[in-house]
Amino acid sequence: MSIGLWVFSCKYKDIDTHHPFLYKVWTNLRFPDSHMNKLPSFIIFFSIFLTIYGLLHFYLYRKVIKAFDIGIACHLSLIIILCFLMLCPVIINIANRTGPSLTADILAYVGYIWMAVLFLFFSINILIDFYRVIVHISARVFSPVLLRYIPEDKITLVIVLLIIAGINVYGWFEAGNITVEKIILNSSKLPSQMGSLRIVQISDTHFSQINGIKLARKIGRIVKELEPDIIISTGDLIERGAKNIDDIAGVLRDLEAPYGKLATTGNHEFICGIERSTKFIEKAGFKLLRNESVKVSDFLNIAAIDDPAGSTFGNSAPVSEDMVLDPLSPDRINIFLKHQPRIESKSIGKFDIQLSGHTHKGQIFPFTIIVSVFYPYLNGLFHLGNNSYLYVSRGTGTWGPPIRFLAFPEITVIDFVKK
């Protein structure tokens, strides 16, 4: 693939003067020289993704043709539609690289909602298939009469599609219903004249074609009502293809807190492009911390470490947590910002609380079960020992499908109260 792109670039080096649109598309599709060494990893990831996603589409295809007696024309139409939907994430990515457009917006809604539909279809039907196997085994062991309790394929398919439609409608409203989670921690490190310190955390907003100015205004309204002392973003603020980013940044910039606004990087800051993401974060009024700590006041330090995606997409070398956390004074409240909720045992005791996000609590149940396998600290507050805590946000926005199911979005309030 890279050889073909190289040949294309050599053959059409003057394409910018003759075909400006094609040149724009080409420059956004080609691999930067700095990323060429990561091409094999990208190809492996892309191949695995398409294989799994393709198998899910084939599973749905088999269910449909088994339930309905359709002709050749319908077969071909179904195959073409499913192939298009399967490739939609790729097409969306290409469309986003060429700039915001109505086509990219439509593709994003269609492609990502379909992703949710397909996942739910597979999840529900796997349970149904398991039920069918149990009934068939029971019928052989006990009585063939039990086979009557297996519904027809057509009825089953229609019921499953209705359930999925209901979940998607409900999930749309759940995704828009941001809850406020409140955590109270006692601390003797607060000054005598200060009764409490309020930290407000947002995470995983994923501003994009789907999550735009409306989400930003809702976040802004809620955060202002909470009257924070300090505002924290734990990564994944922006996506490639985001619209009205200046307006979104303006809404976030208007948010004020006495001790400021600080942010750390998530994986999507690097996927989107760290330079572009940094510009947006700073325009939104946040100080971006990258593998560093800052003294916010005489009683408060904030430390942050880059997401591991930085070494994959941003050409930055990994940094040890020791380098970031060791300079912190144990006499101050130490807040550690780390996008992914992974804990290094040697870091416990060096911070009062680690604030993380990334998991979305799976965003759409039962994907929650799969995510919890990779991230045991899935959501909520965890006492790690040695006076250290971890809080994992469910995220404030959505990635991909603009729905949530049994995983409400949240804005988190952490109140340190004088002990």
User: What separation, in Å, do the N-terminal and C-terminal C-alpha atoms of the chain show?
Assistant: 61
Q: How many whole angstroms separate alpha carbon 24 and alpha carbon 17?
A: 11
The two three-digit tokens of residue 9, written as one number: 């670039």
Which of these three, 37, 63, 97, is where a domain ends? 97
pLDDT computed for residue 105 by the predictor:
86
**103 occurs within a structural domain:** no
Q: Which of 158, 173, 188 is the last residue of a domain?
A: 173
Same domain, 125 and 205: no
Residues 134 and 90 in one domain: no
The answer to whether residue 131 sits within a structural domain is yes
Taking the C-alpha atoms of residue 36 and residue 247, their distance in angstroms, rounded to an integer, is: 35
What is the pLDDT of the chain when averaged over all its residues?
Answer: 88
Chain centre distance of CA 366: 16
Say if residue 12 is in the same domain as residue 157. no
Domain shared by 191 and 227, yes or no: yes
One domain for residues 152 and 51: no
The structural domain count of the chain equals 3
Give the residue among 335, 332, 289, 336 at the shortest CA–CA distance from 310.
289
Q: In this structure, is residue 107 part of a structural domain? A: no
pLDDT the model gives residue 109: 93
- Which whole-number Å values give the CA distances from 344 to 384, 388, 390, in the listed order? 11, 12, 12
Last residue of a domain, one of 121, 141, 173: 173
Q: What pLDDT sits at residue 315? A: 67
Quick: pLDDT tens for 365-382.
Answer: 999 999 999 999 999 999
Is the residue at 402 inside a domain?
yes
User: Is residue 68 assigned to a domain?
Assistant: yes
Q: Residues 90-119: pLDDT tens digits?
A: 888 887 776 667 888 889 999 999 999 999
**How high is the pLDDT of residue 392?**
98
Structure token pair of residue 372: 């919890």
Same domain? For 219 and 357 the reply is yes
**Co-location of 130 and 225 in the same domain:** no
Domain span at residue 310 reads 180-418
Residues in the chain: 419
Per-residue pLDDT of the chain (419 residues), as tens digits, is 333 333 333 333 333 333 333 333 333 444 444 444 556 656 777 788 889 999 999 999 999 999 998 889 999 999 999 999 999 988 888 877 766 678 888 899 999 999 999 999 999 999 999 999 999 999 999 999 999 999 999 999 999 999 999 999 999 999 999 999 999 999 999 998 898 999 999 999 999 989 999 999 999 999 999 999 999 999 999 998 888 899 999 999 999 999 999 999 999 999 888 999 999 999 999 999 999 999 999 999 999 999 999 887 766 778 999 999 999 999 999 999 999 999 999 999 999 999 999 999 999 999 999 999 999 999 999 999 999 999 999 999 999 999 999 999 999 999 999 98
Is residue 58 a part of any domain in this protein?
A: yes
CATH number, domain at 248?
3.60.21.10
The per-residue pLDDT for 153 is: 93
Whether 161 and 272 share a structural domain: no
One domain for residues 367 and 308: yes
- Which pLDDT score, from 0 to 100, does residue 100 have? 63
Which of 200, 222, 267, 203 is closest to 240 using CA atoms? 267
**Secondary structure element (H or E) that encloses residue 300, with its range:** strand 300-304
Do 327 and 346 sit in the same domain of this protein? Answer: yes
132 shares a domain with 79: no
Per-residue pLDDT, 27: 36
User: Do 167 and 202 sit in the same domain of this protein?
Assistant: no
Residue 40, pLDDT score = 63
